[in-house]
Amino acid sequence: MDFRKALLARIDSKRGALIALTQDLIKIPTLNPPGEFYRDICDYLDTRLSARGFSTELVRAFGTPGDSKKYPRWNIIARYEGGSAGDCVHFNSHIDVVTVGQGWSVDPFGGALIDGKIYGRGACDMKGGLATSIIAAEAFLEIWPAFNGAIEISGTADEETGGFGGVAYLSEKGYFSPEKVQHVIIPEPLHKDRVCLGHRGVFWAEIETHGRIAHGSMPFLGDCAVRHMGAVLAEMETSLFPALAAKRTDMPVIPEGAKQSTMNINSLHGGQAEPEAGFTGLPSPVVPDHCKMIVDRRFLLEENIADVEAELRGVLEKVKSERADFTYDFTPIHSVIPTMTAKDAPIVTTVSAAIEAVMHKKAEYVVSPGTYDQKHIDRIGRMKNCIAYGPGILDLAHQPDEYIEVADMLDSAKVMGLALAELLTGNPDDT
């Protein structure tokens, strides 16, 4: 008997189950923020996976950002032990979805199936990927009930807001550690024929310029913090942005525009606060005494975080040297080191070979422009054998009318199933 062929046929036979599972997951509106219905989706997954012989654990990330009595940060980890010792392959999916936004033509939590596509918030990012990994594991277990090692499936909270109540917490508690888990696949929507090796780095900082309040009719008696910030912006345009655009990486980052260093100005606030909606009065004439900017700098494997910070401080020092009465505060508020799994890591070579077997084309290696939960698995969990691989089109994530194609999910389930066969059975072609 050709077990591989049997596995692929078994996955095809689960098309209906895959659709139903994806729809059920979409119908639980796990919006984050604030982090709604986490317990409900964990209970749903618990029922589903317990019935298939997984032992499950629900873990609340007490005290993490956003965790409260009203919005508890629940996670589920399910584990299935094979018949003998071996590696553990872990599929990690986040259970949260971002806000709906406007422009939908279908119910964002309806899970409508139209022309082979399932629609809904989280369809591609990433309830479709979660359903795909569950179906792949279930089909594998039916074909190889006595495999070597273990399979784990987790549904984790808060990826969209940094993952602190999800994978970061679980990594700190030892759920992601080299002793317990040897291979990690995160089924984010990077496309069914791509292996995502990692992500760029992040450095966020708050810059504040200071001034002195005075009457707006006599600004020369005060000192305008917004004009000082204008000088910072001008210096960024002159020196910093061109310097960032000139830095290129050897990381295979997609899309093309992210193959360089980038910086976004997240926000800029100076002077009086915006009036409340409905207030019809005029603002008062005062010179702004403070102005704050948040910058979001994304950096490359080839860059060092200390240099990234020094470069930004350099802009401020240059302005200070040229401008009377210029004072500022510079406060780093968040950072993530870039990560990239080696192309010869076992999970990379295994999934690449499976993509070639299913799709009859070579796998493409990519790196994500933004971060995802691999950052915690890498840094806190100390695990380098980790990739993102899953069905769906990344560009559709967070958009109106987000969808996932059923055919893509089936192809990805086959890739995941073959990867399990390669990693967890002695010789998949044994009769």
The one-letter amino acid code at 19 reads I
Query: Distance between the two ends of the chain, CA-based, in angstroms?
Result: 6
Query: Would you say 122 or 288 has its CB closer to Zn ion?
Result: 122
> Considering Cα of 183, then 132, then 366, then 244, what sign does the dihedral take?
negative
Query: Would you say 188 or 405 has its CB closer to Zn ion?
Result: 188
Query: Would you say 223 or 373 has its CB closer to Zn ion?
Result: 373
Binding to Zn ion (CB under 5 A) within 175-214 occurs at 188
Tokens of 363: 């796998």
Query: Would you say 196 or 415 has its CB closer to Zn ion?
Result: 196
Question: Contact region for Zn ion (CB under 5 A) — 14-22, 120-128, 274-282, 340-348?
Answer: 120-128
Buried b / exposed e over 364-394, threshold 16 CB at 10 Å, is ebbbbbebbbbbbbbebbebbbbbbbbbbbb
Q: How far is the CB of 398 from Zn ion (least distance, A)?
A: 9
Q: How far is the CB of 129 from Zn ion (least distance, A)?
A: 8
Query: Count of residues binding Zn ion (CB under 5 A)?
Result: 3
Question: Contact region for Zn ion (CB under 5 A) — 121-129, 206-214, 220-228, 331-339?
Answer: 121-129
All residues at 6 or more sequence positions from 355 whose CB lies less than 8 Å from its CB, including other chains = 192, 193, 195, 361, 362, 363, 415
Nearest partner of 364 among 372, 353, 376, 352, judged by Cα: 352
Query: Would you say 188 or 402 has its CB closer to Zn ion?
Result: 188
Q: How far is the CB of 125 from Zn ion (least distance, A)?
A: 4
Question: Contact region for Zn ion (CB under 5 A) — 123-131, 202-210, 302-310, 315-323?
Answer: 123-131
* Binds Zn ion (CB under 5 A): choice among 46, 67, 96, 125: 125
Residues paired with 204 in a beta bridge? 296, 334
All residues at 6 or more sequence positions from 157 whose CB lies less than 8 Å from its CB, including other chains = 32, 35, 38, 61, 73, 74, 75, 94, 95, 96, 163, 165, 166
At 81 the three-state DSSP class reads strand
Query: Would you say 125 or 402 has its CB closer to Zn ion?
Result: 125
* Binds Zn ion (CB under 5 A): choice among 95, 126, 316, 386: 126
Q: How far is the CB of 388 from Zn ion (least distance, A)?
A: 9
Question: Contact region for Zn ion (CB under 5 A) — 38-46, 126-134, 179-187, 197-205?
Answer: 126-134
Residue numbers at the binding site for Zn ion (CB under 5 A): 125-126, 188
